């Protein structure tokens, strides 16, 4: 099954302000009917990069069987980690970057890798705030979640 996932993260006062993510999942069934699901959540204190990762994680964790995924994000941090194989190097170095600095957000990178495991995931970068309908909707969901009243605590911050 082919699933398209659009993602976006938002943080007000980045870093350490309230933030949220928005995710839109879409697939077309065998009858040609489009099915769509929207996910979002807000956090009291977080960063934009953490919310970008959480958007992808939420979309992948919402799936209940292995799928082929086309995942679209305006986060170069997320997309380049896979397209430029940063994640492979980080893992080989024990989650260290160049200069032996620790990789940020390791908790979420590990969670993302686990969520990706049953799927075939292809990452695509889209320019943010450029009129892409999926990205624009995710931005609306993410900012509304960040501005919401039922905010969770991000344990990684």
The string of pLDDT tens digits covering residues 54-96 is 999 999 999 999 999 999 999 999 999 999 999 999 999 999 9
On the question of pLDDT at 131 being above 90, the answer is no
φ/ψ of 82, rounded to 5, equals -100, -45
Is 88 annotated to bind a ligand? Reply is no
Spans of all domains in the chain: 2-146
- Can you tell me the mean pLDDT for 47-59? 98
Class of domain 2-146: alpha beta
CB 95 within 8 A of CB 102: yes
Which residues in 20-30 are b (16+ Cβ under 10 Å) and which e?
Answer: bbbbbbbbeee
φ/ψ of 71, rounded to 5, equals -110, 125
Is 139 annotated to bind a ligand? Reply is yes
Which residues are marked as active site? 8-9, 52, 74, 129, 139
């Amino acid at each position: 099954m082919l699933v398209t996932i659009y993602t976006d993260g938002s943080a007000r006062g980045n870093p350490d302000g309230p933030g949220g993510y928005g995710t839109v999942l879409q697939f077309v069934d065998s009858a040609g009917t489009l099915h769509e699901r929207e996910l979002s959540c807000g956090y009291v204190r977080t960063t934009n990069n953490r919310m970008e990762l959480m958007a992808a994680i939420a979309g992948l964790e919402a799936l209940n069987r292995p799928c082929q995924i086309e995942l679209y994000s305006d986060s170069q941090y997320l997309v380049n980690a896979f397209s430029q194989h940063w994640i492979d190097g980080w893992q080989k170095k024990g989650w260290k970057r160049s200069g032996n600095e620790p990789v940020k957000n390791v908790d979420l990178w590990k969670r993302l890798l686990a969520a990706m495991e049953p799927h075939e995931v292809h990452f695509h970068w889209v320019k943010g705030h450029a009129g892409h309908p999926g990205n624009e909707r995710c931005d609306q969901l993410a900012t509304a979640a960040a501005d919401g009243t039922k905010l969770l605590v991000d344990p990684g911050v």
